[in-house]
Amino acid sequence: MLREKIESILLKAQKPARYIGGEPGAIVKDIYSTDVSFAFCFPDSYDIGMSHLGMKILYSLINSRENYRCERVFAPWPDFEKLMLENDIPLYSLENLQPVKDFDFIGFTLQYELSYTNILNMLKLAQIPILAKDRGDELKNIVCAGGPCACNPEPLADFFDFFILGDGEEVELEFMDLYAEHKKQGSTKTEFLKAVSQIEGIYVPSLYDISYNEDGTIADIAPIDNAPMPVKKRIVNSLDNAFYPDNFVVPFTEIVHDRVSVEVLRGCIRGCRFCQAGFLYRPFREKSVEKIVSQTRTLCENTGYDEVSLVSLSTSDHSQIEPMLSGLLDYTESKQINLSLPSLRVDNFSKELLDKITTVRKSTLTFAPEAGTQRLRDVINKNVTEEELMRTCRTAFEGGYSSVKLYFMIGLPHETDEDIVGIAELAQRVVDLYYTVENRKKGQQVKISISTATFVPKPFTPFQFEPQATREEIMHKQELLLSSIKSKKISCSKHKPDTSILEALLARGDRRVGKAIYEAYKLGCKFDSWSEFFDYEKWERAFELAGIDVAFYANRRREYLEKMPWDHLDYYVDKVFLAKENLNALNAVTTPNCRQKCSGCGVAKCIGGKCFE
């Protein structure tokens, strides 16, 4: 019956292929022959979600167990959502077109804060109560989540049963095994949640009481019913031994990253003080060249893709980057497969690396100085000098490139107008450099693209204590930058400040912020990361209804001893270390990268020794 209803409305949708399933590589299991079912929900469109590597890994991992079943679910685009509501079609999975409310687990991935209202909307479309307390105590519809934003899950605590902290490759099957046992025993949801809280990497928010001081800061976070304190994140020690799929689902329609993705390393050695991922994914772990080449070959042959992207926070930091590229090129060139190498560093870009890139890709090179002056780059611990940037750009220009993209942030801690003007001046010096290169391509004009993002302070970084720039300050900085660019050879893009302000509030919010998310959802907010749908006026109304002071969460400096909403969650980076790094930023003192010297962040203790020998 449901299948017939879905088929009757497909041709009325903008992109029917988003909603039908049946793609090559999809794993379809009989509903009645599996013991535990998991609906993997990505709170954004199919085009975005199908590009996500984490979903591909966990989808294949769960389905590798004969008695477990994982099916994919995406947020329907507004046109299809309207058709679903008009035809009484609940949110469903793609593999079996099964209603999400019939699954044991409803799991979301938290990739970015602006997806939060989509989560509530998907629960409503699934006909599942949005608040965890309203779902009853029957052992079904366990709503859980993982991903980078789970490092501070408190704004979502009222909506979820538990969160997965850290790497999911091992913990995923552990809590499903535990669920299977409790299902056989006829346990209640409460009994299961108490038991699952004892698995390392699992956080059950209902087992922690939060109290507040008169000034609105957190007074105490107290565990109940023997819940662990702190809750430690889960770590996969070896990427070579970790599960990785040998096949991907190949969509019928174009998606954002329509290619094979191969993870080459996890973590980062750099310690940029603004970068949450660089701290969350510690320790730094490399995959062997042999494993990378083998996985690339297998995935290309099984999917038929003719493009491969190497995934990491900084691919060129792999200690065997050149042997890795040589091994990959031996295969990809012979098969006419394009190799994409994102995440290049300014300070280890070489002619040899350029030569390898040029054989497979000839597009604009992208580098991230992040700040326009050396003083501010030292503040954020970027550890990149202007000399290194110029040397890298010269190498690119001598190699035949005439276009370079430069990424910067504005609103960084301790930033001045001089630093903003410095962005334009640095870009101009790159333009001038181009015309000093004797063997540049004649007749080609140099093009320098500046992309600016607004700094957002995030948990588990040295800048978690810092205030975000106000809307007025952000707009002033953007206007100053645009007025400082004098050359038509330089273009500049910027982000609207309202989305960054909302992101800052959600990133560092506590449980009280959940009420604002709920109110925003009820006012119609969804797809907030899409400019055509984002409506900050509705969010302002939601803050008013929920009694939330935006400045308290976004624009207030936090003291080092203040209890943060995430202080009971342990990502192995010491808060004392983060405070020390914050002081180093104040004094523009840099910290060497992890290969040069251990800075004592605290992660080494979780792996029983040094991160690097």
Closest by Cα among 100, 79, 93, 92 to 10: 79
- Report the residue count for the chain: 613
Q: In this structure, what token pair is assigned to residue 304?
A: 């038929």
Tell me how many degrees the CA angle 29-35-40 measures, rounded to the nearest 5: 60
**Residue 457 pLDDT > 80, yes or no?**
yes
pLDDT at 400: 84
Closest by Cα among 213, 153, 174, 263 to 517: 153
Cα–Cα distance for residue pair 473/465, rounded to 1 Å: 19
Dihedral over Cα of 333, 338, 344, 347: its sign: positive
Tell me how many degrees the CA angle 498-500-502 measures, rounded to the nearest 5: 70
pLDDT at 362: 52
pLDDT at 604: 87
Residues with Cβ within 8 Å of 594's Cβ and at least 6 positions away in sequence, in order, are 269, 270, 271, 284, 611, 612
Q: Contact, 328 vs 339, CB < 8 A? A: yes
pLDDT at 322: 87
pLDDT at 443: 76
| Mean pLDDT within 423-431 | 97
The structure's pTM equals 0.95
pLDDT at 358: 63
Q: Which residue has the higher pLDDT, 126 or 394?
A: 126
Q: In this structure, what token pair is assigned to residue 310?
A: 């190497």
**Residue 89 pLDDT > 60, yes or no?**
yes
Q: In this structure, what token pair is assigned to residue 418?
A: 């001089």
Q: Contact, 47 vs 253, CB < 8 A? A: yes
* Percent of residues, the chain, with pLDDT higher than 70: 95
pLDDT at 64: 97
Pairing of strands 202-203, 162-164: antiparallel
**Residue 132 pLDDT > 90, yes or no?**
yes
| Mean pLDDT within 119-133 | 98
- Which of 432-441, 502-511, 589-598 has the lowest average pLDDT? 432-441
Cα–Cα distance for residue pair 286/303, rounded to 1 Å: 25
Point out which residues pair with 260 in neighbouring strands: 308
Tell me how many degrees the CA angle 431-436-442 measures, rounded to the nearest 5: 85
Cis peptide before 283 (omega within 30 of 0): yes
Dihedral over Cα of 311, 313, 317, 318: its sign: negative
Closest by Cα among 6, 70, 14 to 46: 14
* Percent of residues, the chain, with pLDDT higher than 90: 86
**Residue 51 pLDDT > 90, yes or no?**
yes
Q: Which residue has the tokens 């699952």?
A: 196
Q: Which residue has the higher pLDDT, 317 or 95?
A: 95
Q: 318-346 pLDDT, tens per residue?
A: 999 889 999 999 999 899 898 887 766 77
Cis peptide before 462 (omega within 30 of 0): no
**Residue 613 pLDDT > 60, yes or no?**
no
Cα–Cα distance for residue pair 43/117, rounded to 1 Å: 9
| Mean pLDDT within 148-160 | 98
pLDDT at 370: 94
Cα–Cα distance for residue pair 81/90, rounded to 1 Å: 10
H/E run at residue 146: strand 142-146
Give me the amino acid identity at 80.
F
Q: 189-242 pLDDT, tens per residue?
A: 999 999 999 999 999 999 999 999 999 999 999 999 999 999 999 999 999 999
Q: In this structure, what token pair is assigned to residue 177?
A: 């095994």
Q: Contact, 341 vs 329, CB < 8 A? A: no
pLDDT at 441: 74
Question: How much is the mean pLDDT over the chain?
Answer: 94
**Residue 442 pLDDT > 90, yes or no?**
no
Q: In this structure, what token pair is assigned to residue 430?
A: 């790159």
Q: How many CB atoms lie within 10 A of CB 10?
A: 15
- Which of 13-22, 166-175, 464-473, 601-610 has the lowest average pLDDT? 601-610
| Mean pLDDT within 489-502 | 93
Cα–Cα distance for residue pair 117/69, rounded to 1 Å: 27
**Residue 311 pLDDT > 80, yes or no?**
yes
Rg of the chain (C-alpha set): 24
Q: Identify the structural domains of the chain with CATH numbers, from first to last.
A: 2-232 (3.40.50.280), 260-495+572-586 (3.80.30.20)
| Concatenated DSSP letters of 471-490 | HHHHHHHHHHHHHH---TTE
Distance set, CA 268 to CA 275, 317, 409, 565 (Å) = 10, 8, 19, 25
